[in-house]
Structure 1
Amino acid sequence: MTPTPPAPAGTSPSSAGFSFRRLTALCVKETRQIVRDPSSLLIAIVLPVVLLFIFGFGISLDTNRLAVGVVMEDRGVEAVRLAAAAAGSPYIEPVFADTLAEISEKLTRGELRGIIVIPQDFTAKVQAGGGEASLQVLTDGSEPNTANFVASYARGLYESWLAARADAYGVPFSEAISIEPRYWFNPATISRNYLIPGSISVVMTIIGALLTSLVVAREWERGTMEALLATPMRRAELLLSKSLPYYVLAMLAMAICVLIAVFIMNVPFRGSIAILLLSTSLFLGSALGLGLLLSTTTRNQFNAAQGALNAAFLPSALLSGLIFEIASMPAAVQAVTYLVPARYFVKIMQTLFQAGDVWAILLPNMLFLLVSSIFWLGLTTWRTRRRLDG
């Protein structure tokens, strides 16, 4: 019978491989540390609520109730009806004046987004017929999108006036081309329904990276890492014990964000809860891995937190497609966006909330998230090995 070789000095038979008992003990230690240190609970519970309310109520792409000047050089019946249509529009907040000189300065100062000029002979030309009546629309071109909205609203105002005039004279109103728009997935065209799901992705990027960016650096600063290194703890046990409790906290933060979005901000959710949990788990692999990487590299809580904020917030807000369309970016910048995990999670969240389980969109983005998680966690493992074994 071949004798079993003795274990090296300072080790036990159970320390030779991965131990679930040690992992459980380390997770319990980390959980108790979370309870004793309220900063993690503040990051996981309070911070997502604050950020989501800021994104939800502080940012809007809707441009209703634009301040637009209406210059009434003509006081005839047709001009008055057109002015009444402007006053009744849900998209325009009219500021009336008799001459262009009275309000042109307001457009220069940015108090008005545009000016509609009703010329002196407007009523006369309308009543004479022949299609010679005209309006002048001035817009603030320093903000091109808003200028386009003003022009569109002015055209809609003109069409509303035409319909009201036809009704007043008892004649049928007809257009050369009849357009009946339908908006799929977001019928009310409320920007909040588009922004909130994407904002949750940005919030979860920040929360996930911040939660784990402090854990290893805290051990180094408090001098407890040396004690951990003296134990039979394995590298995988350390990383899992620093990830699993914060994964639970991050999932709690995600649940809070979704509940606020659905029940307080009235954003519809049309997807599957199971797909939401799975995609969030894949995304947290990247976010938590990024935080752990910064924590093991810097060994300083302040530097790790600053690095996490910069590395998590800026790319997720600017390069995820939430605010700026990726297709409109330069080719070099578009290539960089493929390295940003939030790009894929934003698409998943917007699809789940607005369209439901559209697998043609969900599956490719989930696969990219899986690859991203493997990359960040693998990079963290490689860096941690050098810190533990070196």
Structure 2
Amino acid sequence: MARLVSRRLVGLLRKESLQILRDPSSIAIAFVLPVVLLLLFGYGVSLDSKHVPVGIVVEQSSSEAGSFLGAFQQSVYFEPRFYATRQAGREALRRHQVKGFLVLPADFAQRLKADRNAPIQVIVNGVDANSARLLEGYVQGVWTSWLERELQARQIQVARPVEPETRIWFNAELASRNYLVPGLLVVNMTLVGALLTALVFAREWERGTLEALMVTPVTLGEILIGKLLPYFVLGMGGMVLSVLMALFLFGVPMRGSFWVLAVCSTLFLLAALGMGLLISIVTRNQFVAGMIAIVATFLPAFLLSGFLFDIGSMPVVVQVITHIVAARYFVTILQSLFLAGDIWSLVLPNAVALLLMAAFFLGLSRLLLRKRLE
């Protein structure tokens, strides 16, 4: 009996594996698309603003103004562009030639020598609020650093009630790539786990091959294992490829344990497979199943997982909704493992949440699956 069961299961696994190999789209989604996304986000997408085009208007030249402009030219964050008048700077801003411009007034050097306030005017394009805030902070940083050097050169001591000492933990380079790439692993596994699996039963219904499968002696458990195991192997293969690219191509640090990463990846992939399988059982149309999978799994993994947007900055209602998104828990685990290490106070609760979600979706899929043709 056991031999018969194993032969049936091996036959189902072979059938599903051959179907995957004969379908180029499955291989592309599992291996090609993750590579494209990693290259795109690793090299093309960055939340770090560098070489920002900034206009500079100097109404009257002076050594002090030249020293201040030198600080901008030496900074990697700015690409200075000089204009003769404020009107020229405004026009460049309107045409999106610069992200903002600053004006050194004609009395800048005189007011600075008189130990009075020497204000500068900074005008920033606020259409992109995030870039505007970054630019404002960068300008403030350059101004503060230059002013400190000027005061030291003039041997002027300024009493400071507070002396800040900044230490950056976990991502000392402040490189957005170091947390974008681990978060992108969640999106890649969601593509394989949920999107491909959502088409499994829907494709069988459309092709009429599920009826032939239902009249065979195979059990529901064997059908589920035969359908899910090949996609599980496919998903873990894509995960290994993505991790290797993150470590050796993009130089993302890995401070946690690989076995913890493997266990948590297994839990998340099982949850994604369960969601995709549930969608596939409920719907019998590949187009509908694909659309539901994108809306219910792929988009939340992008928008509500903390991969791109901080969950704490979202409205309270949206924060509550994120608790039913499996990607939220896996993103937290990945960012901890890659950048901080095995922080068990973070890893364990999120791993338990993934385990519960995997059990729920797989159990519900098994409950709804019936060996009937209606």
TM-score, reference length from structure 1: 0.89
Find the counterpart in structure 1 of residue 241 from structure 2. 256
Secondary structure of the residue aligned to 2:53 is strand
Which deviates more from structure 2 when the two are superposed, residues 58-67 or residues 159-168? 159-168
Task: Tell me the percent identity.
Answer: 47
Q: 1:108 to 1:201 in 2, by over 3 A?
A: same
Q: Return the match for 1:211 from 185, 192, 196.
A: 196
User: Of 101, 107, 114, which residue of structure 2 is paired with 1:128?
Assistant: 114
d(CA) in 1 for partners of 2:143, 2:18 = 67
SS at match of 1:93: strand
Bigger drift between 19-28 and 312-321 goes to 19-28
SS of the equivalent of 2:81 reads strand
Check conservation: 1:235, 1:388, Cα contact below 8 A.
no
Q: Which residue of 2 aligns with 1:7?
A: none
2:31 maps to amino acid:
I
Residue 375 (structure 1) aligned to one of 354, 360, 364 = 360
Shift in alpha-carbon separation, 1:389–1:112, aligned structure 2, 3 A: same
Provide the C-alpha distance between the structure 1 equivalents of 2:33 and 2:62, rounded to a whole number of angstroms: 58
Q: 1:17-56, aligned counterparts within 5 Å?
A: 19-56=5-42
Which amino acid is the alignment partner of residue 229 of structure 1? M
Residues 249-288 of structure 1 mapped to structure 2, 5 A cutoff: 249-288=234-273
Partner of 2:129: 144
Q: Which residue of 2 aligns with 1:119?
A: 105
SS in 1 for 2:341: coil
Contact 2:188 2:238 in 1 (8 A): no
Match of 1:305 among 253, 273, 290: 290
The alpha-carbon deviation at position 174 of structure 1 amounts to 5.6
State which structure, 1 or 2, has the greater radius of gyration over its C-alpha atoms. Answer: 1
Partner AA of 1:378 in structure 2: G
The Cα offsets for residues 323-373 of structure 1, whole Å up to 9 and x where unpaired, read as 222122222221111110000011111111101110000000000001111
Q: 1:124 offset after TM fit, Å? A: 1.2
User: C-alpha distance in 2, partners of 1:237/1:153?
Assistant: 60
Q: CA deviation at 1:190?
A: 0.3
The one-letter amino acid of 1:124's match is Q
In structure 2, the CA distance between the partners of 1:175 and 1:207, relative to structure 1 (3 Å rule), is farther
Q: Aligned pair count?
A: 373
Partners of 1:271 and 1:160 lie apart in 2 by 37
**Quick one: distance in 2 between partners of 1:144 and 1:216?**
45
Q: Choose 317-326 or 275-284, whichever is displaced more.
A: 317-326
User: Post-superposition shift, 1:40?
Assistant: 2.1
Aligned pairs for 1:1-390 within 5 A: 14=1, 19-129=5-115, 131-166=116-151, 171=155, 176=160, 177-385=162-370, 388=372
Contact 1:116 1:154 in 2 (8 A): no
Q: Which amino acid aligns with 2:102?
A: I
Structure 1: state its 5+ residue gaps: 1-13
Answer whether contact 2:126 2:132 (CA < 8 A) is retained. yes
> Does the 8 Å CA contact 1:205/1:313 hold for their aligned counterparts?
yes
- Residue number in structure 2 paired with 1:3: none
Q: Deviations over 1:147-185 (max 9, x none)?
A: 22222222222233234435655x377662432311100
Say if 2:214 and 2:373, in contact at 8 Å, map to a contact too.
no
Kindly tell me: are residues 265 and 95 of structure 1, through their superposed partners in 2, closer, same or farther at Cα, counting changes over 3 Å? same
Contact 2:178 2:253 in 1 (8 A): yes
1:294-315 Cα shifts (integer Å, max 9, x gaps): 2222222233223222322111
CA distance in 1, matches of 2:134, 2:281: 50
* Cα-to-partner distance string for 1:18-73 (whole Å, 9 max, x where unaligned): 93442222112222222333332222111211122222223211112222211101
Q: Quick one: structure 1 residues 214 and 94, their matched pair in 2 at CA, closer, same or farther if it must change by over 3 Å?
A: same
Which residue of structure 2 aligns with residue 11 of structure 1?
Answer: none
Determine if contact 2:211/2:373 at 8 Å carries over to the other structure: no
Cα deviation for residue 77 of structure 1 reads 1.2
Cα distance in 2, alignment partners of residues 126 and 258 from structure 1: 54
Matched residues in 1 for 2:244 and 2:348: separation?
Answer: 24
TM-score for the superposition, normalised by structure 2: 0.93
- Residue 372 of structure 2: SS of its match in structure 1? helix
SS of aligned partner of 2:309? coil
